[in-house]
Structure formats: C-alpha cells, structure tokens
Amino acid sequence: MPLTPQFKTDEKSIKRRILITGSNGLLGQKLVELLIQDPSVTTIATAVGKNRLPFTDGYEYQEMDITDPFAVDEVISRLKPDVVIHTAAMTNVDQCEMEKEACWKLNVIAVEFLIKACEKNKVFLEHLSTDFIFDGTAGPYTEDDQPNPVSFYGWSKYAAEKAVMNSNLNWAIARTVLVYGIAHDMSRSNIILWVKKSLEEGKQIKVVTDQFRTPTLAEDLASGCFLIATKEAKGVFNISGKDFLTPYEMALMTADFYNLNKSLISPTDASSFTQPARRPPRTGFDLTKSRNILGYEPHTFREGIELMGR
C-alpha cells in the first residue's frame, strides 16, 4: 500500500520542533503541509523573503537567508529546533554549471553555516541530496555505492554530504531522484507538467530513451523526510520512487493518463541535446534500506500522475 504516515499522540511526549529550510519550494511546501497534520510536531517554515505558502495556519514562518551565517546562527539559536530538514539548494543543473560560485555558496557554504549552528545548539540535521552525486554507470544505486559526480551540481552536493558526514552532529542524508509534483506559486516545472502542456498545445517533443531514473513524487519525498525526522534515523537513506523508467517512458505514461496524442512524442538520445552540464545516464535508487528501517513505501509513477491530476 502507498505510504500514509500515521500520526499518534502521546500525552507524555514533548512536541518535537522541526524547522524546514526552503519552505517556499516544492518539497518545502509538501513538508509543511504534512508536518502540520501531526499534533506532536511544532512546524517552523523558513525561506528567503516572504512566505509564499497559500495557507498560514498551523506553523510559524521565519525569514532566513541560509547564505548569511549570522542569520542562520540567530534563527537556530533563538528558535531551538530539535530537527532541521534542509531542502534549500540550487538544483538547476545547467545553472550550477554556468554559475559555479553561486552554486557553491548555496549548496556547500550555506550547509557549513547550518552545520555550525546545529552543532552549537545540538540539533539533528537532515540534509537533502541527489542521485547526481553518481556517474550513472551502475544504477540503481544503494546507499553504500561510491559517488563520482559528472557535473558541478553533483560535485557541490557531494561536497555538502561530506561536510555533514564529517560534522560533530547527529545527522541524516536523504538522497532523492527527479522530483515531480505540483505546488502553489511554483518556480520550476517538471516532466509531467512539461509533457502535458506541450501535448495540449499540439507541440512535438523529443524525449530521451538513454537515461534511467526512479522519479519521485514530492509527497513521497516529504513522507520519507518525515519518517527520518521523527525517528531521528541516522545515516544515508535513499528516498525516491520505485519505478525504474526512462524520460520517454514517463512521457508516454503521462500522455496515456491525460488521453493526449502520443504520436507527438519522439524518442531520441542525450547526444541530440546540447546542455552545459553532463547528466549521469543510469541512476535510480535501491530502496531496501529505507523500506526496512523507515517503513518507506512510495507510490508508483502512475499513481503519482493520478495524485497530481486531482
């Protein structure tokens, strides 16, 4: 059965304070929506600038620029969370390749600021990472496989992982793959929304057949992060979807679900695209550890499309 976190109340338990970075993003929004359902959690949402969530009840919002060490220290020291779930990052792979300094500042240096503040206040840090730390020659990957990034984005996320692992913290790393979903005031699209919009407009699209992923529904990723945070489960965990698919297969399944014209979708390979950053050809994750330790069980890709379509 698809994962639905069960919230239990215990009169003797003390409410756990969980702070989320990047709460305006897709995952951040899903985490806030999930955590406020749990009466044993006090939810603190943080992001740069104003709160863009479409609701304000059930959580506290605090502006926090993670690239400002003084702001990070002040907010963490004042609010004293038990757990920080760090979702904020520069995730546009080509932008990272072209804007290396900005990428490193947000994806690595900011993590070092968070680590320092969390060490000072004895906070459990859950850090979000990516399949792009791997070279894509041997996927699907387990948590114990050796990283070897092929892009600057991948190197920045791997460097951040090493900083977390070498800290004096209680920590967890949640690695994920090709997150899709829909949220309020989204700054980026995803494969399902792109395919649906293109086909509805009658556009012909080319989609690659030589890349393999385990695409992840944002709600599933939020559930996996929730399980890690509430258990304070230490170590590295793969949190992704379970279907091993090419983007071409994902596009066909999206067209089928929405009854759109599949003949507009043409198969191609990655060599037909000129992109600043290399992509690992074959990633995806083995979920055995997360299933056994966390009880994590994601939706199928088909179910994920249905949930988005509601």
> In this structure, is residue 125 part of a structural domain?
yes
Nearest-angstrom CA–CA distance, 214 and 141: 10
What is the reported pLDDT for 44? 98
Asked whether residue 203 is domain-assigned, the answer is: no
How far is it, in rounded angstroms, from Cα 196 to Cα 307?
15
Q: What's the average model confidence in pLDDT over 290-306?
A: 98
237 vs 177: CA distance, rounded Å: 12
- Here the CATH number for the domain that contains residue 68 is 3.40.50.720
pLDDT reading at 4 higher than 60: no
Q: Which of 68-72, 151-155, 193-197, 211-215 has the lowest mean pLDDT?
A: 193-197
Q: 29 in a domain, yes or no?
A: yes
Could you identify the residue written with the tokens 């900005």? 102
Number of domains in the chain: 1
**Residue ranges of E strands in 48-159:** 60-63, 83-86, 124-130
Answer positive or negative: Cα dihedral of 53, 36, 175, 115: positive
Mean pLDDT of the chain: 94
Is residue 252 included in any domain, yes or no?
Answer: no
Can you give the residue range of the structural domain that contains 165?
16-182+215-241+284-299
- Dihedral of CA atoms 241, 127, 165, 120 in degrees, nearest 10, equals -160
- The answer to whether position 197 is within a domain reads no
The predicted-structure confidence for 40-62, as pLDDT tens digits, reads as follows 999 999 999 999 999 999 999 99
Q: What percent of the chain is modeled with pLDDT above 90?
A: 91
Whether the predicted pLDDT of 2 surpasses 50:
no
Residue 279 within any structural domain of the chain: no
Q: Is residue 160 part of a domain?
A: yes
* DSSP state letter for 130: E
**Residue 95, pLDDT above cutoff 80:** yes
Angstrom distance (rounded) from CA 262 to CA 72: 48
Judge whether residue 143 has pLDDT over 70.
Answer: yes
| Whole-model pTM over 0.85 | yes
CB 39 within 8 A of CB 17: no
pLDDT at 3 over 70: no
